[in-house]
Chain A
Amino acid sequence: MANLKTVSKKSKAQSMGMHTEVLTGRTQQKFFNPDEAENFYYFGTYDVDFNKRTELDVKDMTAPEANKEIDNLMSQGYGTIVIKNPQGKHSLGVGILNKLNLIFEGSLGYFGMGSCDGPIVRINGRVGWSCAENLMAGKVVIEKNAGSCFGAAIRGGDLICKGSVGARTGIDMKGGTIIIGGDAGAFTGFMMQRGRIIILGDVGINLGDSMYDGTIFVGGEIGSYGSDAVDSELTSSDQDWLKRKLKVAEIGENFDVSKMKKIVAGKKLWNYDNLEPTEKKGAI
């Protein structure tokens, strides 16, 4: 190892065995080799055919029973599944790690579509609190309104609500895009760390409070800014990206994106240049 006292600050992390990110607690590194692809197995996934379609009536099922049956249908190769009568049940569609067309003919309760990775989902109704929490990839479209904590801690994918959403939308999000056709409540983007939020309507108080990074675009009025949330210049590339994203989301196609406000982190709440305590120890 190089002498950490003499190397430049930039290369300290690399000298300590890390690569592009300065993170502590990493005990193992995995590298994916394309030549090994055929040996790569992703737990809980199936080969499905999008043209193979079926319907599932969950009216008299509990949420675990319904989720188990969805998994069973995927194992049989069904790539398009229509769920009938969800009737506001909680935790439907959670933990799907597959490519899948999933359509809900009705509304979901709390925690719908949580911890998913890959499915394309359309919900012809509303969703309760914490919809699509921890989404990794895929697309979830809600035709009506959504409750609070919409898209909490998502890492990737597109999460679209054509109606209005409650408070704390995108709280702690670490990637992906959240698009809201209507209004959003208080503390939208609270402690977000990466990713983008687009709100075409108004947004409540404390927008972007304590956000670390990421970007929030607002088309309507802002109740108030949260700590360390500041305005930024809306560039032409931002506008191009917004137009593309709204077109794909099938909302606000005629929306004048040039008048949107762009909010980012002021980055005054913490110091990006500081090493973590254990790294400091190693550097001494």
Chain B
Amino acid sequence: MCGIAGLIHRGKSSNVGSELQGMLQALKHRGEDSTGYALYGDTDGKNFIMRFKVGENVGEGSSSVMEDVSVYDERKKIVDETLAEMGAKIVKEERTLPYSLRYEIDYNVKDLLEFSQRIESIPGVEILSMGKSLEVIKDLGNAKMVCDRYSLDKVVGTHAIGHARMATESGVDIKSAHPFWGYPFSDVSVVHNGQLTNYWNNRRVLENKGMRFMSECDSELIAVYLAEKMRDGATLEEGMKASLTGLDGVFTYFVATKDSLGMAKDTMAAKPLVLYESDDLVAMGSEEIAIRSVLPQEIDTYDPFDGEVKVWQI
């Protein structure tokens, strides 16, 4: 059991960091092994924002192996050198935690595949997100712990999706935490509640087509599956509709891009989702109490039906 939540403000920005924290914290009983945020903040859109990790959190029930901080420093140094070799200029650098970094990069390229492959060829380094608006922040613990650790409550933006995880299929670590970046597409992220039963079959096919998996978490398949569809020219919505039959198992998932937010529910409707929709706000979560944290007044909500796909624009 995991919990997912998402919201999109249409026509305006809001304090999405704080709002999503409230929604995910309301769902913490669905799992607090790890919590992840995909925040689409207000930026000038000039530079790429790269969130990446050079190690794992080894506290709070982690299944990861402890490493010396000097190893993280060494990996960071190699990342910096690699960026310089590729002609990418680090405009701003933040190191929130020894293993977690945020770079603003001046880099003029459309295809992030080669860029990502170069960075992730460095052992122990994983890009959590890459985009001009998207920032994926995920770590062990519940929503408040992660929000406080990364000071997310002040992030202003248009939309966000998040995930409260109870680890069942893979380890308690950051690499298996949601959201997953839609590698190598800029500003694409995915969260999922459920279980995919044809993960390995799909993974084999997609890896043969050159797609990359970083974890053994079945949910990562959704991000890779959609990325592959979009690489072949499909729109996001077309990819999501294809996933209803291409993915086997039970699932409700959210996917977000720079200017849109979508949801898909499997044909058995086995996983919950409650949805609120108005002209200026869409909020949804695994349980109504998530929505209540941002809209405490009486509102009209509903459960999307089986096999339903919806996409909203900002």
Is A88 a contact of B289 with CB atoms below 8 Å? Answer: yes
Q: Please tell me which one of the listed residues B269, B287, B299 contacts residue A128 in the complex, with CB atoms under 8 A apart.
A: B287
Q: Please tell me which one of the listed residues A109, A144, A146, A167 contacts residue B305 in the complex, with CB atoms under 8 A apart.
A: A167
Tell me the minimal C-beta distance from A274 to chain B in angstroms.
Answer: 30
Is A107 a contact of B272 with CB atoms below 8 Å? Answer: no
Is A148 a contact of B269 with CB atoms below 8 Å? Answer: yes
Asked if A163 lies at the interface with its beta carbon under 8 angstroms from chain B, I say yes
Tell me the minimal C-beta distance from B298 to chain A in angstroms.
Answer: 5
Q: How far is the CA of A165 from the CA of B304 in the complex (A)?
A: 9
Is B300 a contact of A87 with CB atoms below 8 Å? Answer: no
| Interface positions of B from 293 to 314, Cβ below 8 Å from A | 296, 298-303, 305-307
Residues of B contacting A214 in the complex (Cβ-Cβ under 8 angstroms):
none
| Interface positions of A from 136 to 163, Cβ below 8 Å from B | 144-148, 163
| Interface positions of B from 247 to 283, Cβ below 8 Å from A | 267-270, 272, 274
Q: How far is the CA of A201 from the CA of B296 in the complex (A)?
A: 30
Is A87 a contact of B303 with CB atoms below 8 Å? Answer: no
Q: Known contacts A107-B301, A185-B303, A186-B305: does B292 contact A87 (CB below 8 Å)?
A: yes
Is B302 a contact of A163 with CB atoms below 8 Å? Answer: yes
Interface flags for A217-238 (1: CB within 8 Å of B; 0: not) read 0000000000000000000000
Asked if B291 lies at the interface with its beta carbon under 8 angstroms from chain A, I say yes
Tell me the minimal C-beta distance from A59 to chain B in angstroms.
Answer: 9
Is A186 a contact of B302 with CB atoms below 8 Å? Answer: no
Asked if A166 lies at the interface with its beta carbon under 8 angstroms from chain B, I say yes
Tell me the minimal C-beta distance from B278 to chain A in angstroms.
Answer: 15
Residues of A contacting B272 in the complex (Cβ-Cβ under 8 angstroms):
128-129, 147-148
Residues of B contacting A145 in the complex (Cβ-Cβ under 8 angstroms):
300-303
Interface size on B, as a range, is 20 to 34
Q: With a 10 A CB-CB cut-off, give which of A125, A126, A168, A183 has the most chain B CB atoms.
A: A126
Asked if A187 lies at the interface with its beta carbon under 8 angstroms from chain B, I say yes
Is B305 a contact of A147 with CB atoms below 8 Å? Answer: no
Asked if B288 lies at the interface with its beta carbon under 8 angstroms from chain A, I say yes
Residues of A contacting B301 in the complex (Cβ-Cβ under 8 angstroms):
107, 126, 144-145
Tell me the minimal C-beta distance from A161 to chain B in angstroms.
Answer: 11
Tell me the minimal C-beta distance from A212 to chain B in angstroms.
Answer: 21
Tell me the minimal C-beta distance from B109 to chain A in angstroms.
Answer: 45
Q: Please tell me which one of the listed residues B267, B270, B289, B291 contacts residue A90 in the complex, with CB atoms under 8 A apart.
A: B289
A145's nearest neighbour on chain B, judged by CB, is B302
Is B302 a contact of A126 with CB atoms below 8 Å? Answer: yes
Residues of A contacting B289 in the complex (Cβ-Cβ under 8 angstroms):
87-90, 109
B272's nearest neighbour on chain A, judged by CB, is A129
Q: How far is the CA of A102 from the CA of B306 in the complex (A)?
A: 32
Residues of B contacting A128 in the complex (Cβ-Cβ under 8 angstroms):
272, 274, 287-288
Tell me the minimal C-beta distance from B24 to chain A in angstroms.
Answer: 15
B305's nearest neighbour on chain A, judged by CB, is A185
Task: Give the secondary structure class of B's interface.
Answer: loop
Interface flags for A107-135 (1: CB within 8 Å of B; 0: not) read 10110000000000000011011000000
B269's nearest neighbour on chain A, judged by CB, is A167
Q: How far is the CA of A126 from the CA of B272 in the complex (A)?
A: 15
Task: Give the secondary structure class of A's interface.
Answer: loop
Q: Please tell me which one of the listed residues B267, B269, B291, B307 contacts residue A166 in the complex, with CB atoms under 8 A apart.
A: B269
Q: Known contacts A167-B268, A167-B269, A167-B306: does B300 contact A144 (CB below 8 Å)?
A: yes
Q: Known contacts A107-B298, A126-B300, A167-B269: does B305 contact A88 (CB below 8 Å)?
A: no
B270's nearest neighbour on chain A, judged by CB, is A167
Tell me the minimal C-beta distance from B165 to chain A in angstroms.
Answer: 19
Is B267 a contact of A186 with CB atoms below 8 Å? Answer: yes
Q: Please tell me which one of the listed residues B288, B296, B307 contacts residue A126 in the complex, with CB atoms under 8 A apart.
A: B288
Q: With a 10 A CB-CB cut-off, give which of B268, B303, B307 has the most chain A CB atoms.
A: B303
B289's nearest neighbour on chain A, judged by CB, is A88
Q: How far is the CA of A35 from the CA of B301 in the complex (A)?
A: 51
Q: Please tell me which one of the listed residues A90, A109, A125, A147 contacts residue B303 in the complex, with CB atoms under 8 A apart.
A: A147
B306's nearest neighbour on chain A, judged by CB, is A186
| Interface positions of A from 158 to 192, Cβ below 8 Å from B | 163-168, 183, 185-187
Asked if A77 lies at the interface with its beta carbon under 8 angstroms from chain B, I say no
Tell me the minimal C-beta distance from A99 to chain B in angstroms.
Answer: 28
Residues of A contacting B270 in the complex (Cβ-Cβ under 8 angstroms):
167
Is B287 a contact of A109 with CB atoms below 8 Å? Answer: yes
Asked if A204 lies at the interface with its beta carbon under 8 angstroms from chain B, I say yes
Q: How far is the CA of A186 from the CA of B307 in the complex (A)?
A: 9
Residues of B contacting A107 in the complex (Cβ-Cβ under 8 angstroms):
288, 298-299, 301
B296's nearest neighbour on chain A, judged by CB, is A87
Residues of B contacting A147 in the complex (Cβ-Cβ under 8 angstroms):
272, 274, 303
Q: With a 10 A CB-CB cut-off, give which of A129, A163, A183 has the most chain B CB atoms.
A: A129
Q: With a 10 A CB-CB cut-off, give which of B272, B298, B299 has the most chain A CB atoms.
A: B298
Q: List 24 A-B contacts (CB under 8 A).
A: A88-B287, A89-B289, A90-B287, A90-B289, A107-B298, A126-B288, A128-B288, A129-B272, A146-B303, A148-B269, A148-B272, A148-B303, A163-B302, A166-B305, A167-B268, A168-B269, A185-B269, A185-B303, A185-B305, A186-B267, A187-B268, A204-B305, A205-B267, A205-B307
Question: Assuming A88-B287, A148-B269, what are 18 further A-B pairs, CB within 8 angstroms?
Answer: A87-B289, A88-B292, A107-B288, A107-B298, A109-B289, A126-B302, A144-B300, A144-B301, A145-B301, A145-B302, A147-B303, A164-B302, A167-B268, A167-B305, A185-B305, A186-B306, A187-B269, A204-B269
